[in-house]
Chain A
């Protein structure tokens, strides 16, 4: 398996623009997580899915953020409109309940909003 695949690796956008981050989890994993990481706040859980259903979105900062998982092999995190304070590294991770190694993280998307 190629692991968790995220795209793009880097994104630079202007304030007010829409940003879409993409994630392909490991085949067979039934949990998918979106995290945001900054120096100030560390790893913050934004939302996670189980069997494509959102379980907890309480970490989503505000209505500008939305996430979908239309099928078991694809998820998106959208920010509209983007703001400079959204600049961070966004990680997607997946696992299955009995995975002894916990999460497998994707390589992340480094988002810069100018």
Chain B
């Protein structure tokens, strides 16, 4: 099967920095996605990494190491509205077109 692991829960305070890790073991790799999902809403796209290194987008950055099967999402200057579940998803690169999702990390930001 495809293993994609993330911590279940994390907490942090407003203004802080938090790093959410994702490790994966998949047969084939063609990119990794991070999605944000607020309670009662659909997941929405945050970032995409296909090459090693850091992709920065405002307060959010995502890092990938293909050799280690590892990614992280870095959230800076945390705000209350960042409280959400963060989902890691892997594209195996087959022609099948589907993504494999982790269980998600529930982040709670305290004032």
Q: Is B45 an interface residue (CB 8 A)?
A: yes
Contacts of A108 in B (CB 8 A): 41-42
CA distance A101 to B33 in the complex (A): 8
Contacts of A91 in B (CB 8 A): 42-43
Task: Look across to chain B and name the residue whose beta carbon is closest to the beta carbon of A105.
Answer: B42
Nearest Cβ in chain A — how far from B43, in angstroms? 5
Contacts of B42 in A (CB 8 A): 91, 105-108
- In this complex, how many residues of chain A approach chain B with their Cβ under 8 Å: the count is 21
Task: Look across to chain A and name the residue whose beta carbon is closest to the beta carbon of B101.
Answer: A43
Contacts of A102 in B (CB 8 A): 33, 35, 45, 48, 89, 91, 99
B44 engages A50 (CB within 8 Å): no
- Size bin of chain B's contact surface: 10 to 19
Interface string of A67-104 (1 = CB under 8 A from B): 00000000000000000000000010001010011111
B98 engages A105 (CB within 8 Å): no
Nearest Cβ in chain B — how far from A54, in angstroms? 12
CA distance A95 to B103 in the complex (A): 21
Per a CB cutoff under 8 Å, which of B35, B44, B96, B102 touches A56? B96
Task: Look across to chain A and name the residue whose beta carbon is closest to the beta carbon of B44.
Answer: A105
B33 engages A56 (CB within 8 Å): no
- A residues near B, CB below 8 A? 31, 33, 42-43, 45, 48, 50, 55-56, 91, 95, 97, 100-108
